[in-house]
Structure 1
Amino acid sequence: MFDFTQIKTYWSTLQSRLTNPAGSSGIRRFFAWILLGALMVFSIFFVLFLLLLSWLLIPIMLWRGRRAMAQHRAGTSAKPDGTNGHIIEGELITRDTHNSQ
C-alpha cells in the first residue's frame, strides 16, 4: 500500500525548502518588499486615475445622450440623408375577414 514515512519525509523536505530557500539573503527580501510595495502603490494610483476619468466622462456622456434625445424629439437627426431613421420597408398583406363563403 502506501508508505506514509516516505510521504512524510517528502512533505517535510518540501516545507523546509519553501520556508527557508537556499541563498535567500536579507537584501533579496528587502528588494522584493520594495518591488511589491512599489507595484501596489502604482496599482492604487492607476485605479484612482481610472476612477477620476470615469467621473469626468460620465457627465459628458449624459450630456451627449440628452442632446441626442432632444434632437430626436425635435425631429432633426444628424443623418445626412434626411431620412431621420424612419424608413420601414416591407410587404403589406391583408386578410379578408368580411367575405363569407
Structure 2
Amino acid sequence: MLILLVTVGIVLTGVTELAAARTSPTPQVAVAAGIGWLAAGAAILVWPGLTIGVLTAIVGASLLVGGLVKVVEALRGNADERASALPLGAASAVLGVLALVWPDVTVL
C-alpha cells in the first residue's frame, strides 16, 4: 500500500510540473522535471518486488533532483517566482539528501 501511495504522489507531482511548464520562465526545465518525476513513478510501478530501501532511494533522488530544478527555475524567474520557488526547491533538495543519507528515518 505504501508503494502505491508514493507512486501516486510522484506521478501527480510530474503531472503538475508538466502543467505548470506553460507559465514557467524556463519551460524546458519544467518539462524535464515533469518527465523525470513520471519516470520515477514508472520505475516504482514496473518493479514489483521493490523493497523499502530501494523505494527510499528513488524518492530521495527524485526529491533532490526536483528540488534542484526548482532552485534553478527560481533563480531564472522574476522576484515573485523566487519568493515561492526558491524555499520550496531548497526544502525539497534538503529532504532528498536526508532521505538518501538517512533512509531508516525516511520510512518511519
> Would you call these one fold, judging by a TM-score over 0.5?
no
| Bigger RCO (CA 8 Å, 6+ sep) | 2
Q: TM-score, normalised by structure 1?
A: 0.30
Higher radius of gyration, 1 or 2? 1
